[in-house]
Amino acid sequence: MKNPLIRSGTLAELHAHQGDWVFVDLGFSRRSKTCGFLGVCAARQCDTEAGATKMTFGELTAMVVTLAQEDGPPLHLVLEAPLSAAFAADGNPMGRTGEKRENTTRYWYVGLGCSVLVASMYLLRTVADAVPAREVRVFEGLVSFKDGSKRSDHTADVQLLKKVVWSGGTSGGHFLAASPIGAPSGSTMASTMSLLGLDAKPPPIVVGVMP
C-alpha cells in the first residue's frame, strides 16, 4: 500500500467504538455546502452529535486532513460514498449488496453514486498526500432509498450513520460485508482505494435506513 496508515476498517472495529470517529456525507459542488460532518471522540468523551454541520467539499477536506495529522488514537472515517466496486465475469459493472431493495436500485456506478465516488477519491488522496500522523480506518456509509419528496438533509444523514454504529448495527440500520449481489461465478470486487495505491480490501458498509 502507498500509505499503510490508511486502510479499510473491519466489522469488529465497527463494534468497538474505540478511538475517534468522523461521519461524512459527501457532496461535490462548486460553492454549496453539500457535505455533512459529525466528529465524535469516543475515547475522550466529547460526543457532540448536536455539532453535526454542513460544509463545502474544500472545508471538509481541510477538516479531515487536520484530524488525520493530529497525534492520537485511530481515526475511524465513515464516508457516505461507494468505496468498493463490483464487476461481472464479462467485465461490466454490477450491483453490490445493499444497492437493491425490491424493485428499486441505487447502484454505485449510476448517477449520484459516481459523483460521490469521485469526491471520495479526491478526499482520500489529499489525506494520503498530507501524510497522516495516526492510523485512518475507512468505512463506507450508505444512506439511500430515501423519500424523494423530501429535501436531502446532510446533517441528518451523518447523525443516522453515527446512530447505526453506536447501536452496533441494531438501530437505524445495519452492517454489511461488501460483495457483488448474488456473488455470481467470475464476479470480482475490490476497494476503490486500490486505485490510489491504498488498501484493496473492500471496507464494510454502514447502512442507514431513514424512517
Q: What is the 3-state secondary structure (H, E, C) of 131-172?
A: CCCCCEEEEEEEECCCCCCCCCCHHHHHHHHHHHHHCCCCCC
Choose the weakest-confidence range: 31-35, 145-149, 207-211: 145-149
Of the pLDDT bands very low, low, confident and very high (cuts 50, 70, 90), residue 6 is very high
Quick one: pLDDT at residue 147? 61
Answer whether residue 162 is part of any domain.
yes
**Domain with 155 in it:** 18-208
Quick one: pLDDT at residue 73? 92
Structural domains of the chain, count: 1
Of the pLDDT bands very low, low, confident and very high (cuts 50, 70, 90), residue 49 is very low
Answer whether residue 11 is part of any domain.
no
Residue 97 confidence (pLDDT) above 60: yes
**Inter-residue contact 25 to 154 (CB < 8 Å):** yes
Q: What is the mean pLDDT of residues 194-202?
A: 96
Beta bridge partners of 14: none
Answer whether residue 140 is part of any domain.
yes
Percent of the chain exceeding pLDDT 90 equals: 76
* Cα 191 to Cα 197: distance, rounded to the nearest angstrom: 10
Answer whether residue 9 is part of any domain.
no
Residue 92 confidence (pLDDT) above 50: yes
Answer whether residue 61 is part of any domain.
yes
Give the pTM: 0.92
Angle between helices 57-68 and 112-129 (to 10 degrees): 40
Answer whether residue 6 is part of any domain.
no
At which residue does the C-alpha cell 459493472 appear? 93
Answer whether residue 13 is part of any domain.
no
Give Rg (Cα) of the chain.
16
Answer whether residue 117 is part of any domain.
yes
